[in-house]
Structure 1
Amino acid sequence: MNDAVLFDAREDGIAIITINRPDQRNCLSREVREGLFAAWERFENDDAMRIAILTGSGEKAFCAGGDLKEMVDKGLQIPPRDMFPVPYDNIELSKPTIAAVNGVAFAGGWMIAQACDLCVASSSARFAITEVKVGRGSPWAAPLISMIPQRIMMEIILTGKPVTAQRAYEIGLINRIAEPDALMATALELAKEVLEGAPLSVKAGRETVMLATEMGRSAALQAARAAHELTYTSHDAQEGPRAFSEKRKPEWKGE
């Protein structure tokens, strides 16, 4: 870890990962990339951490994308597969994640917000895939077709123009909008709502959503049934109905 990325391991099982270079608009510089790789690894390997919130320092930028000066200095052409830390892509994670977008999420900033399972945004946030403006590419945007309509995706990519948080909510890119000073509280509320569920059910549910975006209907159904076998045969699968019938809060064991 380095001070470019902060890691807050809360006692309630929520990890808050913060890109901490507001003076650089939290761009994906080398030190930020290294810090994010380390933070995601720490999150995945800590059994006490059940969900992570990714955000940026300050109010102006969640992440403004790659470090263009670094790209020029390196003469960067095709980015190496392991250059940018993208959850569930070149970073293997088995737990849910939330992006808390506090300002602009441009280019690589959109990329890492898109990669998270859920997204909460400040009302002042803006989103843009700006690669066409600087002659770069956005192959990472391909999964976006499972989130928003094709023609809207086409316009966003071909024009590079920003969309507001309200527009992002309308097209289904983000889950919730919050006033700037309530962004983290809103993200934490969503995280706690996820944590109320049985851990194995949440894990299998997340896998089902991803399977459904990658497979045809029949194949996804078959794979989802397999993904839920552990859930159905777990202690928690008996504890949940028992707690409901006894009118008490369930005590999940995650097993």
Structure 2
Amino acid sequence: MPRSKPAPKKPRYRTGAPHRAFMAIANTWRRFRRWVLRLSALVLVLLLAWVLLYRFVAPPGGLFMWQEYRRLGEISRQWVPLHQIAPIMARSVVAAEDANFCRHWGFDMSAIRQVIEQGAARGASTISQQTVKNVFLWHGRDWTRKALESGITLLVEASWPKARIIEVYLNIAEFDEGVFGVEAAAQHYFGTTAAELSAEQAARLAAILPAPKTRNAANPSEFTRRRAVAIMDGAATIARDGRADCLSG
């Protein structure tokens, strides 16, 4: 009787190798995700520490100021505390740049809505946003900077009093080529100090802020004169209606 042939053996599949490869990829991904989360947390902590430091320490300057120093070879700037700046100067800047400064949390939503309705014909940056840009970031219109500006503005508004924001802004804003801060501007244009600025002088300084390289506070154009008159009226208005109450240190 012929022998029956043995049944063919089933091929053996190495099921363990793909599983080990999958697990290795999954473990690598988990380690990468943990690394990203830890790095993000570290960046956030360092950023928060940076913001909190400048609540108490005068910022040495921003990237734009450093760039101007490299370009010009020298700049003029002298830090002065808020109590050594004429109160009318702070009111004039708020009236000119951000009338609702004392009432918003870093973003003026009514101004943003107006910009949208007008087709973005003008900007809507608040003094808080401009301070963040001048101190922590670079100048430009790219979306990366705007996103960082928005996040840091929230941190600044949450950790600095309004008086500190206006103090830093007045000490770091550009008033002419190579002239930064209200003390240097007062000396440059009027031969006086920030503490001794008159209402008209403060209004003229506020009027040149949007275009400090093309406007002159000491020898103003007709437009700058008219703008300064409007700013003086606005400064008086916000003093009366309480919108300047947050400006005292």
Normalised TM-score (structure 1) = 0.25
Structure that is richer in strand per residue: 1
Return the structure number with greater relative CO, CA threshold 8 A, min gap 6. 2
Q: Please identify which structure carries the higher helix content.
A: 2
